[in-house]
């Protein structure tokens, strides 16, 4: 029997409007209790590991909390994920599965269960099952750096995207922080050589599951796109450089998450030594017996706790600050994929794009005002004057601060001090890395498409006269065509049109590697001669080498 979404959808495929017929749904017994709830009529399908029961959600079929690998606690901690354990009977797949162990208090999925060390589950949204469909498969890697987040967050619910654009959407949970990226290869030997990439190996296991099972959900295992925002974009960069992932995906998209380099084995080993010291353990093998909650508590103390206290041997070799640094920075106490020579043989995009992904098309970009996200809880920043900006810049950048501020005052003569600060921090954290990856990848055969997200969120920033603008993570709901779910994107004019444009560009790229959207400009392929960039907004436009003088400075800056 073929189950499908029973409505009629008009969508954009390869530049042409196509009517996709579906059968009518029977009346539902009751309305959803929350927007993303999976409701009747329920249905069963059989995958390689057993039967599952899903249902309907927001115009699509939804199957949630499906195990894609086995348990990774106890003896399997810090190892590659084992195969999924088959089950008998029918497994319920109408609710989200457990997110990875992480600091409490974040906003994830609606009615999501408690965190768990055993978290290797995924969610699938599709227009139809068992219909022989060959739909593009869009595999989303959630943000939250490498320490937080979930594949069940409501703004990345895949229902609307699947129903509107006739695609299959998959979102996964995987190991995070210490459980996903603690490198023990030097301390516990070859059996743990890939321990610094367990979170990435989980993603590979999910891709293998997709290859084996996605046809049941109407998806094409030969047309899979991996994409993600922030930490999810960084994970995508790492996946592109992993030999075990090659052939399991065919396109990639990086949203505000450029990661050029991973963690070195030396830094990873130093982090492991600090973990042992913080726990008062001398035998690394005892890490397998420590309760997961105790390991998480140590991780949550961060650079101010034991992880920020260098071991004596390391301190002797590396005088100065013991730890710190942001996403993907090679410093002890940081969590990110480790360049272990096995799972991740080399840095993803330094000094070149990974050769094994030369034929993988890439869509990449960042938001215009990323940094508002990171300073939104500091009202004083938005009231700073030029002296305050200069002091902050010297603290963060050092001796180059004066030259950078002078450049930005020249290129943005009407900007206030906070606006200059936002622009500088955005370029340092996201813009420069995005351009570097686009430049390197454009030297390979597969096409590259670069964008800048410009839609201005009207969400007010508390205790200031600012709005969020095009800040970090405000584009997630637009990509998923979930603009009506309240979040950082706000509720401003033109939001629906901007979301239609962005979701159409992403889904058409997933379909045929050419991003298109009805009523919006044709998107030129990126190269270093023209640097064509799509400015995504209510009315999109193409700009050649936007902010070129600033871009040239950052590319020549030795601190990059």
**Tens-place pLDDT, residues 75-126:** 999 999 999 999 999 999 999 999 999 998 876 788 899 999 999 999 999 9
Q: Which of 98, 230, 384, 504 is catalytic?
A: 230
Instruction: Provide the mean pLDDT of the chain.
Output: 92
Residue 160 designated active-site: no
Which of 24-28, 166-170, 200-204, 407-411 shows the lowest per-residue confidence on average (mean pLDDT)?
24-28
33 burial level (CB within 10 Å; 0-12, 13-18, 19+): exposed
Both tokens assigned to 76: 């399997």
CA 129 – CA 10 distance, rounded (Å) = 20
Both tokens assigned to 440: 């390197």
**How many helices and strands in the chain, by DSSP H and E?**
16, 19
- DSSP codes joined into one string, 167-229: -EEEEE----HHHHH---HHHH-GGGTTGGGHHHHHHHHHHHHHHHHGGGGTEEEEEEEEEEE
Residue 370 designated active-site: yes
Task: Name 526's Cβ contacts closer than 8 Å, sequence gap at least 6.
Answer: 438, 442, 447, 448, 449, 450, 532, 533
**Tens-place pLDDT, residues 510-522:** 999 999 999 999 9
pLDDT, greater one: 167 or 316: 167
Both tokens assigned to 355: 């050769």
- DSSP codes joined into one string, 522-541: --PPP-TTT-EEEEESSS-E
CA 84 – CA 118 distance, rounded (Å) = 12
Q: Which of 57, 370, 503, 508 is catalytic?
A: 370
Task: Name 104's Cβ contacts closer than 8 Å, sequence gap at least 6.
Answer: 115
Residue 22 designated active-site: no
Both tokens assigned to 508: 């058409």
What is the pLDDT, as a whole number, of residue 27? 43
DSSP helix/strand/coil, 462: coil
pLDDT beyond 80 at 24 = no
Task: Name 339's Cβ contacts closer than 8 Å, sequence gap at least 6.
Answer: 261, 262, 263, 264, 265, 345, 346, 347
Q: Which of 472, 504, 508, 550 is catalytic?
A: 472
Mean pLDDT in residue range 201-212: 98
pLDDT beyond 80 at 327 = no
Which domains, and CATH codes, for the chain? 3-255 (3.40.50.1820), 362-556 (3.40.50.1820)
Model confidence, pTM: 0.94
Nearest to 122 by CA among 234, 202, 220: 202
CA 365 – CA 236 distance, rounded (Å) = 13
What is the pLDDT, as a whole number, of residue 1? 42
């Amino acid at each position: 029997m073929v189950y499908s979404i029973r409505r009629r959808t008009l969508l954009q495929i390869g530049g042409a409007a196509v009517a996709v017929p579906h059968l009518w749904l029977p009346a539902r017994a009751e309305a959803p209790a929350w927007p993303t709830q999976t409701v009747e009529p329920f249905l069963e399908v059989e995958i390689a590991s057993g039967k599952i029961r899903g249902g309907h959600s927001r115009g699509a079929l939804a199957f949630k909390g499906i195990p894609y690998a086995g348990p990774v606690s106890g003896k399997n901690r810090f190892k590659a994920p084992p195969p999924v354990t088959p089950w008998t009977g029918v497994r319920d797949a109408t609710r989200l599965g457990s997110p990875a162990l992480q600091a409490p208090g974040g906003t994830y999925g609606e009615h999501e269960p408690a965190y768990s060390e055993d978290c290797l589950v995924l969610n699938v949204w599709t227009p139809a099952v068992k219909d022989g469909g060959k739909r593009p498969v869009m595999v989303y890697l959630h943000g939250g750096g490498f320490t937080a987040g979930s594949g069940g967050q409501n703004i990345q619910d895949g229902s609307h995207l699947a129903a509107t654009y006739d695609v299959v959407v998959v979102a996964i949970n995987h190991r995070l922080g210490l459980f996903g990226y603690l490198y023990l290869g030097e301390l516990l030997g070859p059996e743990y050589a890939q321990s610094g990439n367990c979170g990435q190996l989980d993603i590979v296991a999910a891709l293998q599951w997709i290859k084996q099972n996605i046809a049941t959900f109407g998806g094409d295992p030969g047309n899979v796109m991996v994409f993600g925002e922030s930490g999810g974009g960084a994970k995508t960069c790492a996946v592109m450089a992993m030999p075990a992932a090659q052939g399991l995906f065919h396109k990639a998209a990086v949203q505000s998450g450029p990661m050029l380099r991973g963690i070195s084995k030396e830094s990873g080993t130093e982090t492991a030594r600090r973990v042992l010291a913080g726990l008062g353990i001398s035998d690394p093998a005892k890490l397998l017996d420590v309760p997961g909650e105790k390991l998480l508590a140590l991780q949550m103390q961060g650079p101010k706790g034991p992880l920020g206290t260098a071991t004596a041997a390391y301190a002797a070799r590396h005088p100065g600050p013991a730890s710190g640094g942001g996403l993907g920075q090679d410093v002890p106490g940081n969590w990110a994929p480790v360049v272990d020579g096995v799972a991740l043989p080399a840095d993803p995009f330094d000094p070149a794009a990974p050769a094994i992904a030369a034929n993988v098309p890439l869509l990449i970009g960042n938001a215009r005002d990323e940094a508002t996200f990171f300073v939104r809880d500091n009202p004083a920043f938005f009231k700073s004057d030029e002296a305050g900006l200069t002091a902050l810049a010297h603290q963060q950048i050092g001796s180059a601060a004066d030259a950078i501020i002078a450049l930005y005052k020249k290129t943005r003569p009407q900007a206030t001090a906070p606006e200059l600060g936002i622009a500088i921090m955005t370029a340092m954290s996201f813009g420069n890395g995005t351009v570097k990856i686009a430049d390197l990848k454009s030297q390979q055969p597969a096409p590259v498409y670069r964008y800048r997200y410009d839609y201005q969120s009207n969400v007010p920033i508390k205790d200031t006269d600012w709005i969020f603008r095009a800040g970090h993570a405000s584009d997630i709901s637009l990509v998923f065509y979930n603009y009506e779910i309240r979040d950082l994107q706000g509720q401003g004019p033109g939001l629906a049109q901007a979301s239609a444009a962005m979701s159409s560009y992403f889904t058409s790229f997933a379909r045929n590697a050419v991003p298109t959207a009805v009523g919006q400009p044709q998107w030129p392929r990126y190269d270093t001669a023209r640097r064509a960039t799509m400015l995504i907004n209510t009315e999109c436009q193409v700009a050649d080498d936007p902010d070129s003088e600033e871009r040239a400075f950052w590319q020549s800056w030795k601190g990059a």
